[in-house]
């Protein structure tokens, strides 16, 4: 696939694998990715094997290791730095359980931009002595890295920050945040759920200590599978603390088949952040979706969504609407948020025009991926023009 192909051509290459485009312009990948034929077939494969053979532990473990390797490839890292979990929440909970807030630094430095699960998990740690501090973003959801850096002190246990804001697609400067935190010996957790699979991320180059996400959005999987990337090299170099979770399960053991109930012997690699039996059906779906995405390439996916993003912004501006997403490269993910006077009414009105979007924070969210094309954007803009009375004015 040539990187200089226009969005219309790139999107057309694999578009016929997604039946939803036979009837709709699906532009809601920030909520859930479109269902590929291959992902649907993966569920059938799981059920067929279950029906024919019953319990297939060796096969299931093999699928999990395939998914682990695919996630590692997607982030240009090693498999031993990937924990496969049932959700992003499970991954964060395991990481949060490593901290002894009563006998060490107690401050969790996070932001006003986080998805609810992140804030709620950290606030749940208040019962264990954690102090949660939210660094406020600007009204447009931009958050200068310098503001986070200024809030880091000797009592900071961890910095927990989103990569891309789920409300409007604003992107944080993670490398600058990581540098500021590591200069003070503080680890960084990045919630990349709104960027993984859509924005190229090299985990080693990013430098973060933890990165969490899930596969149901731009990674083409389905609910029931999340992950954590764990940078043990960075942790040992900058933090010099071994992170051992107390939220655990038998798949997190060094030897999961030792069946030892008399001691806690966690894996030395990222598997120590896993728990009990994984969500096996979702692993089959994730393997199929990740295979598809890796064949397309995240760089190509980002190029397509970036072109369509520009087309959307231009069209909204022509309508006199308000784009609530920062404009410049490096400041936004694949989502474009458009201000509305009634976000729910506008989402419903666009659905009547066979255009699928979602809403948050007074905005509708339009989120293209590699399978979208210019016709999808034209349909979205035509629906916005038809429902212009529901758009906020500049």
Q: Which two tokens stand for residue 370?
A: 């590699």
Q: Is the pLDDT of residue 292 over 90?
A: yes
Residue 196 sits at the vertex; the CA angle it makes with 315 and 68, to the nearest 5 degrees, is 155
pLDDT digits (tens, 9 = 90+) for 111-135: 999 999 999 999 999 999 999 999 9
Strand partners, 110: 134
Identify which of 33, 3, 1 has the alpha carbon closest to the alpha carbon of residue 17. 33
Q: What is the rounded distance in angstroms from the CA atom of residue 31 to the CA atom of residue 10?
A: 22
What is the percent of the chain with per-residue pLDDT over 90, rounded to a whole number?
Answer: 88
pLDDT digits (tens, 9 = 90+) for 329-362: 889 999 999 999 999 999 999 999 999 999 999 9
7-35+297-387 fold: 3.90.1150
Q: What is the rounded distance in angstroms from the CA atom of residue 194 to the CA atom of residue 325?
A: 14
Give, as one character, the DSSP assignment of residue 34.
Answer: P
pLDDT at residue number 140: 87
Residue indicated by tokens 């409300």: 167
Q: How many CB atoms lie within 10 A of CB 303?
A: 20
Beta-strand relationship, 336-339 and 358-360: unpaired
Q: Is the pLDDT of residue 236 over 90?
A: no
pLDDT digits (tens, 9 = 90+) for 28-64: 999 999 999 999 999 999 999 999 998 888 898 899 9
pLDDT at residue number 54: 87
DSSP, residue by residue, 218-275: TT---TT-EEEEE-HHHIIIII------SS--GGGBSSTTS---SS--B-SSGGGG--
* Global pTM value: 0.94
The residue ranges of every structural domain in the chain are 7-35+297-387, 40-292
Supply the CATH classification number for the domain 40-292: 3.40.640.10
Question: Residues for the chain: how many in total?
Answer: 394
pLDDT at residue number 332: 95
């Amino acid at each position: 696939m040539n990187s200089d192909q226009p969005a219309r051509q790139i999107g057309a290459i694999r578009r016929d694998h997604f039946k939803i485009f036979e009837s709709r312009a699906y532009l809601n990948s920030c909520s859930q990715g479109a269902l590929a034929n291959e992902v649907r077939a993966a569920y059938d494969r799981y059920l067929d094997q279950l029906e024919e053979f019953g319990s297939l532990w060796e096969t299931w473990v093999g699928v999990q290791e395939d998914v682990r390797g695919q996630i590692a490839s997607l982030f240009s890292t090693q498999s031993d730095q990937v924990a496969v979990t049932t959700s992003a929440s499970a991954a964060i909970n395991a990481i949060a359980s490593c901290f002894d807030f009563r006998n060490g630094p107690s401050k969790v430095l996070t932001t006003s931009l986080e998805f609810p699960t992140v804030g709620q998990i950290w606030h749940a740690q208040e019962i264990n002595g954690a102090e949660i501090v939210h660094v406020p973003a600007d009204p447009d959801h931009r958050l200068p890295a310098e503001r986070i850096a200024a809030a880091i002190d000797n009592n900071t246990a961890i910095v927990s920050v989103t990569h891309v804001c789920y409300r409007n697609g604003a992107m944080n400067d993670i490398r600058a945040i990581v540098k500021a935190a590591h200069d003070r010996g503080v680890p960084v957790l990045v919630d990349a759920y709104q960027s993984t699979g859509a924005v190229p991320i090299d985990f080693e180059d990013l430098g973060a200590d933890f990165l969490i996400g899930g596969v149901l959005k731009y990674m083409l999987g389905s609910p029931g599978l999340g992950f954590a990337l764990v940078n043990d090299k960075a942790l040992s170099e900058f933090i010099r603390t071994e992170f051992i979770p107390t939220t655990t399960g038998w798949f997190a053991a060094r030897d999961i088949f030792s069946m030892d109930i008399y001691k806690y012997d966690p894996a030395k690699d990222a598997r120590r952040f896993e728990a009990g039996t994984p969500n096996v059906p979702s692993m089959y779906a994730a393997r199929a979706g990740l295979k598809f995405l890796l064949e397309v390439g995240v760089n190509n996916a980002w190029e397509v969504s970036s072109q369509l993003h520009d087309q959307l912004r231009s069209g909204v501006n022509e309508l006199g609407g308000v784009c609530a997403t920062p404009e410049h490269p490096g400041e936004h993910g694949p989502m474009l948020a458009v201000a509305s006077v009634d976000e729910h009414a506008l989402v419903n009105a666009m659905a009547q025009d066979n255009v699928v979007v979602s809403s948050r924070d007074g905005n509708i969210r339009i989120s293209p991926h590699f399978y979208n094309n210019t016709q999808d954007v034209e349909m979205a803009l035509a629906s916005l023009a038809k429902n212009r009375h529901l758009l906020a004015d500049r």
